[in-house]
Amino acid sequence: MAPRANWKGQLKIEQLLCPVALYTAASTSERVSFHLINRKTGNRLSREFVDSDTGKPVSRDNQVKGYEVSSGSYLSFDEEEIASAIPESNKTLNVTRFVKCDEIDDVYLDRPYYLAPAGDDESFTLVREGMKAEKVAAIAEAVLFRRARQILIRPDNQGLIATTLNFQYEVRAAAEAFADLGSFKFDREMLDLAKHIIDTKMGSFDPASFDDRYDAALADLIKAKIEGKPLRKPAAPKSAEVIDLKEALRKSAGLDGGGQTPAKAKKGKPKSRTESGVKSRKRAG
């Protein structure tokens, strides 16, 4: 069964129109999830909104959104007022420009979608192949899910990947995160050791080898509880041994003491993960 489209419309590049559809590319729906229940009865709990001052429940009819203008003071807005701010949608991904793929800053990437043809495979394929040949991505604007958004569109195998973008005001400056980073100089041996460690750990990008250990542990926990087996107690964390940076590099490179930096190791395939009994999740082809 074909997946259900999240959105349908058209891709517009100047006078070229191509009917397209967006499909979810990443979802957390397969993760283990819990409900809040009453410990005594085992029944699910329902959420109830109460007035923060009176402590009394507030009916749905009296629940409105508010914007805080000063401490404890709010302007209220009903759904009709908020709806008036939603831009009108013409169901169009309007390409405003193309950019080189190596210009894209990953911190602006938000949520990915598969962008597939919805009736005109020829036009869609022409756009995809043209972008591949030029090694470019498209920047488009559209109203998606009640908001005006900027979308990055890139060619990917048989289709296109459309990723909603963060706006400038949503992205924090890198300088804030790295403001306290000091300046260091390293000798040749330390750099060679670091390069050697990197070379010995080189592999290919293989998402199938990524294990969600927390989700797998939750699945094992649920299975054990259903079967009435004793639950495994978490191991006490080991205290980290503080050692000299160069010594840490030597140990990581397999050198316990002195000696020359080992020659670069041959690159090999990454080890496959151990089957844990948890259903693997593969990207749909």
Task: Find the CATH number of the domain harbouring 125.
Answer: 2.40.290.10
pLDDT at 276: 41
Does any domain span residue 145?
A: yes
Please identify, among 169, 190, 222, the residue that sits at the C-terminal boundary of a domain: 169
pLDDT for the residue numbered 1: 62
Strands (E), 38-121: 65-70, 73-77, 92-100, 109-117
Q: Which helix (H) or strand (E) element contains residue 24?
A: strand 16-24
What is residue 260's predicted lDDT score, i.e. its pLDDT?
Answer: 55
Averaged pLDDT for residues 156-184: 92
Residues 102 and 193 in one domain: no
Residue 189 sits in the same domain as residue 112:
no
pTM of the model as a whole: 0.76
Instruction: Count CB-CB contacts under 10 A for residue 43.
Output: 8
pLDDT tens, residue by residue, 190-227: 899 899 989 988 998 888 888 888 898 889 889 998 98
Question: Could you give phi then psi for residue 207, rounded to 5 degrees?
Answer: -55, -25
Same domain, 132 and 228: no
Q: Report yes or no on 142 lying in a domain.
A: yes
CB atoms < 10 A from the CB of 162, how many?
Answer: 27
Domain carrying residue 258:
181-203+212-233+242-277
User: Is 209 within 8 Å of 273 (Cβ atoms)?
Assistant: yes
Q: How would residue 282 be classed by pLDDT, with cut points 50, 70 and 90?
A: very low
pLDDT per position as a tens digit, 20-67: 999 999 988 889 999 999 999 999 999 999 999 999 999 999 999 999
Instruction: Tell me the C-alpha distance between 193 and 198, whole Å.
Output: 9
For residue 144, what are the β-bridge partners?
147
Residues 218 and 99 in one domain: no
CB 161 within 8 A of CB 132: no
Maximum Cα interatomic distance, the chain, rounded to a whole number of Å: 77
Closest CA to 65 of 82, 51, 84: 82
Kindly state whether residue 61 falls inside one of the protein's structural domains. Answer: no
pLDDT value of position 277: 42
Q: How many domains does the chain have?
A: 2
CA 78 to chain centre: 32
Cα angle vertex 114, ends 23, 152, to 5°? 120
